[in-house]
Structure 1
């Protein structure tokens, strides 16, 4: 294979000019192979289900950006349980409509598959059904794309009934246009007696196998949508209840494996699963937290995002992502040790805009400060003034984060000055739990309170207001 020119490449759509050597190169991406080299682990290697070769097309941006995308694809493949044998990248003006990488490069890819003993090819992009089919015919192994890989990981990690239903819906939406037919021999003959005696004009090929599969998939999708809508009602009711009590909501969003669950555990002691893997969290987790002054709010951990997150997943998980869209504040967690944190931020914001959460106040939380390059952290702080640097692992910066959260939370609607009888201790407790206490004094008649409270609670306290002193 020809040597690849590693200089950054500028995209010129008008001219489409590339160096000839670059255009014809199918470049190996270094550092992607996870093939075991210790001969004592041969038995373990033999148990691996899939050995994969990755392939991508570099159409725009820098070489570093393209290789980071491929490395992320390798992490996704490993998360799915695969062994990455090789990573190849083709530089083109645009992906080939027939084979994704071009017919000649597809033949080279087939040689690499044969030489490495791979049984699967994973493309770093979403392939059309015809591209999948053509590549499989050339390489003689299974070919999947980035979208199918992410859907597979979600299917492995979904634990709750709603999470499983959402993943299945996304998989069926992806599968529907990719069903493959094998000709008329799969047709269902429905004419004559089989068709209920429709007679002349009723005989014919009828419904083919692929049409039947599509109808069954659409029926299943409709059922899943109804089930998800029913399951989401409980979360909507709980969210409305918290709103009625005036409890502010803070959502933790961010790139997959940025440390969102670790931050949630650090802030609340929630004990949520923390794993150094992509998409370890799929089901939203809501926990109580308190500001330094004691003001209560809820923290919601959400599913992680990733570059080119499949649209099917965004739609299927829309009910879960409503926790973000309904929040008063978004803590946008960024992995400060990532090679391209700005790309992470852009990918997350793209998804937030899709779920109508782009207008919600956002605080950038630069996590993993203990492992991040100080130059990268400084660059991020300059680019995003509304940011804070923390380490969920060590606890560094968490105090500053909580002070910023308190300053960002919405203020209460009504200031009250009341004397609550001791017989109404439950009402006084609600003021402490839901309001912001400015003054407390215990008198013989009851507890005198000066506080800021939600409007509905202020209405309940109207009968206990303290009359202003005469001048």
Structure 2
């Protein structure tokens, strides 16, 4: 996590094209992430390379160009569209005499700003410490000083670096234990819902696809909505009533993104488990996005990683009002709804979402009845 400088959050973005097909999309996403983090972008350094430079990632020539741009624009943060090794980050900070933030660090900073619940804050802190642990490798001179003498923590001859590592390990262990307890509590709540035959539905999707707007429209809740990445972070759960389905528990989960740091996927395992344990996933898609197919693939990739790939899923193409499409549904060969076109902001097609949930509830009830008959 980076420290915000006084007098303005001026930053230069740095992005290198290694021949990736999604380079422009990734750069645009970095800009949105930077804005979401509260940064003011003063310029962009771009380049092409076959492989990263081992010492400075972007090479000495581009590093000098970056230093000049930062000085001219009075910027004190360099935001990289890539993950940097600890040594690359340190070398760049020494050369630039400024803070260097990689993509993972930027996302972690946004998460630390947005976490509201106790569990969310614990999860973010764990992810930050896991990320920091890779940076405690002869990083700063103050970490090399010896700590010795009677009554000093760690005993004689232990370096500050070793103390920092030990304290970090202790805190990580504490956080993991607390999150395990919270995960167990969630499991008990889910089992109670299963026993009461209440259908659970989770909203999933790429960040900024409109999940929270859909959630508010269905539940008449008032959770925070904004046109920015990761506007909401904590999972929110509400019970709603749907005709022909009865009570339904609806959960709004954290949005996904390309190259979502593995530390975050691991840290938010308890929260993302809501999606893995759901009876139905409403996969919210931004219809107006030119990259919606890639975003759908990225969400499905994360769902596979968290064990939710086999949960029944309905694609909800949201924001049809922005592209002039009418509300509609598509069905598979068995007559089940697979795709819905709707707009949460205008309310068009939201009745189709309720209809889809009602039909899936009836399908689950039929399965349960058949299983009981054969038992």
> Structure 2 matches for 1:81-160, cutoff 5 A?
81-160=38-117
Cα deviations by residue, 1:263-321 (Å, 9 ceiling, x for unpaired) = 01111212222222221222111112344424332111001111111111111110011
Superposition deviation, residue 184 in structure 1:
8.5
Matched, 1:239 2:198: no
Superposition deviation, residue 453 in structure 1:
11
> Structure 2 matches for 1:251-290, cutoff 5 A?
251-290=202-241
User: What is the match of residue 388 of structure 1?
Assistant: 340
Give me the whole-angstrom Cα distance separating, in 2, the residues matched to 1:404 and 1:188: 64
Matched, 1:411 2:364: yes
The secondary structure found in structure 1 opposite 2:11 is strand
Superposition deviation, residue 181 in structure 1:
3.9
Q: Give the TM-score of the pair, scaled to structure 1.
A: 0.70
Give me the whole-angstrom Cα distance separating, in 2, the residues matched to 1:58 and 1:401: 41
User: What is the match of residue 172 of structure 1?
Assistant: 129
Structure 1 pair 295–185 and aligned structure 2 pair: CA distance change class (3 A): closer
List gaps (5 residues or longer) in structure 1. Answer: 1-45, 196-202, 416-451, 456-471
Equivalent of 1:70 in 3, 22, 27:
27
Superposition deviation, residue 250 in structure 1:
0.9
Structure 1 pair 268–275 and aligned structure 2 pair: CA distance change class (3 A): same
Judge conservation of contact 1:252–1:300 (CA < 8 Å) in 2. Answer: yes
Aligned length: 357
Cα deviations by residue, 1:75-133 (Å, 9 ceiling, x for unpaired) = 11111111011122211222222211111111111111111111100000111001111
List gaps (5 residues or longer) in structure 2. Answer: 332-336
Judge conservation of contact 1:48–1:83 (CA < 8 Å) in 2. Answer: no
Give me the whole-angstrom Cα distance separating, in 2, the residues matched to 1:158 and 1:110: 33
The secondary structure found in structure 2 opposite 1:225 is helix
User: What is the match of residue 162 of structure 1?
Assistant: 119
Judge conservation of contact 1:250–1:299 (CA < 8 Å) in 2. Answer: yes
The secondary structure found in structure 2 opposite 1:365 is strand
User: What is the match of residue 321 of structure 1?
Assistant: 272
Q: CA RMSD in A?
A: 2.8
Cα deviations by residue, 1:349-370 (Å, 9 ceiling, x for unpaired) = 2211111111111111111111
User: What is the match of residue 448 of structure 1?
Assistant: none
Cα deviations by residue, 1:324-378 (Å, 9 ceiling, x for unpaired) = 010111111111122311221122122111111111111111111111376xx99
Give me the whole-angstrom Cα distance separating, in 2, the residues matched to 1:48 and 1:269: 40
Give me the whole-angstrom Cα distance separating, in 2, the residues matched to 1:353 and 1:294: 28
Give the structure, 1 or 2, with the largest relative contact order (CA under 8 Å, sep 6 or more). Answer: 2
Give me the whole-angstrom Cα distance separating, in 1, the residues matched to 2:188 and 2:301: 28
Structure 1 pair 130–414 and aligned structure 2 pair: CA distance change class (3 A): closer
Cα deviations by residue, 1:23-43 (Å, 9 ceiling, x for unpaired) = xxxxxxxxxxxxxxxxxxxxx
> Structure 2 matches for 1:442-461, cutoff 5 A?
none
Judge conservation of contact 2:142–2:160 (CA < 8 Å) in 1. Answer: no
The secondary structure found in structure 1 opposite 2:45 is strand
Give me the whole-angstrom Cα distance separating, in 1, the residues matched to 2:347 and 2:17: 39
Give me the whole-angstrom Cα distance separating, in 2, the residues matched to 1:294 and 1:402: 9
